[in-house]
A and B are shown apart, each in its own frame.
Chain A
Amino acid sequence: MEKENGPETRIESPRAGGQKMKDERQLSLPANEGDPPLDLAPDSPQLVSRYLVGLLLLGSDQLAQGLGGAKQPEADVPPGEETSSDRLRHLAIGLLARGERDAGRSLRTIYHGSVGTASWTFRTLDRWTDNRLMRPFRRPIEVRVRRLGDQVAEIVEEGKREEQDSRVLAAESVQSVVENVVDQVAESEEVDRLIMELVGQKGVSYATSLVDNVRTLTATGDDTLEGVLRKLLRRMPRRALPPSPLEGQPQTMYASGNLVRGVADHD
Chain B
Amino acid sequence: MIDEEMLQFSFLGRYAGFITRLVAFLVDRAITAIMTLSTMLAVEFALNVFRINQLVGFDDLSWQVATASGVGLYLVISVGYDLGFWMLSGQTPGKRLMGVRVVRSDGQRLHLGNAIRRELAYVLSGLLFLGYLWILLDKRRQGWHDKLAGTIVVYSWPEGELRGTLVREQVHRLVEARPAAQGETVDV
List A residues at the B interface (Cβ < 8 Å).
69-70, 208-209, 211-223, 225-226, 229, 233, 238, 241-242, 244-251, 253-254, 258-259, 262, 266
Q: Given A209-B164, A225-B136: A250 and B159 within 8 A (CB)?
A: yes
Is B184 on the interface with A (CB-CB < 8 A)? no
Interface size for chain B: under 10, 10 to 19, 20 to 34, or 35 or more residues?
A: 35 or more
* Chain A residues with CB below 8 A from B69, complex form: none
The answer on a CB contact under 8 Å between A242 and B165 is: no
The answer on a CB contact under 8 Å between B136 and A229 is: yes
**Number of cross-chain contacts by CB at 8 Å:** 125
CB neighbors of A among B114-153 (8 A):
136-137, 139-141, 152
For the complex formed, measure the closest distance between the CB of A260 and the CB atoms of chain B, giving whole angstroms: 11
* Chain A residues with CB below 8 A from B159, complex form: 250-251
* Chain A residues with CB below 8 A from B7, complex form: 248
Chain A contact residues, majority secondary structure: helix
Q: Given A218-B19, A222-B16, A245-B107: A69 and B170 within 8 A (CB)?
A: no
List B residues at the A interface (Cβ < 8 Å).
4, 7-8, 10-20, 23, 54, 59, 88-90, 97-99, 101, 103, 105-109, 111-112, 136-137, 139-141, 152, 154-159, 163-167, 170
The answer on a CB contact under 8 Å between B13 and A247 is: yes
Q: How far is the CA of A258 from the CA of B108 in the complex (A)?
A: 10
Q: How far is the CA of A238 from the CA of B15 in the complex (A)?
A: 14
Q: How far is the CA of A226 from the CA of B101 in the complex (A)?
A: 20
User: Chain B residue with minimal CB distance to A259?
Assistant: B109
The answer on a CB contact under 8 Å between B170 and A251 is: no
The answer on a CB contact under 8 Å between A241 and B20 is: no
For the complex formed, measure the closest distance between the CB of A208 and the CB atoms of chain B, giving whole angstroms: 6
The answer on a CB contact under 8 Å between A219 and B109 is: no
For the complex formed, measure the closest distance between the CB of A41 and the CB atoms of chain B, giving whole angstroms: 35
Identify 22 residue pairs between A and B in the complex whose beta-carbon atoms are under 8 Å apart, listed by A's number. Answer: A212-B166, A213-B167, A215-B11, A215-B20, A215-B98, A218-B17, A218-B23, A218-B98, A222-B17, A222-B18, A226-B136, A229-B137, A241-B15, A241-B139, A241-B140, A244-B140, A245-B106, A247-B154, A248-B13, A249-B13, A251-B12, A254-B88
The answer on a CB contact under 8 Å between B17 and A262 is: no
User: Chain A residue with minimal CB distance to B133?
Assistant: A229
Q: How far is the CA of A220 from the CA of B16 in the complex (A)?
A: 10
The answer on a CB contact under 8 Å between A216 and B167 is: yes
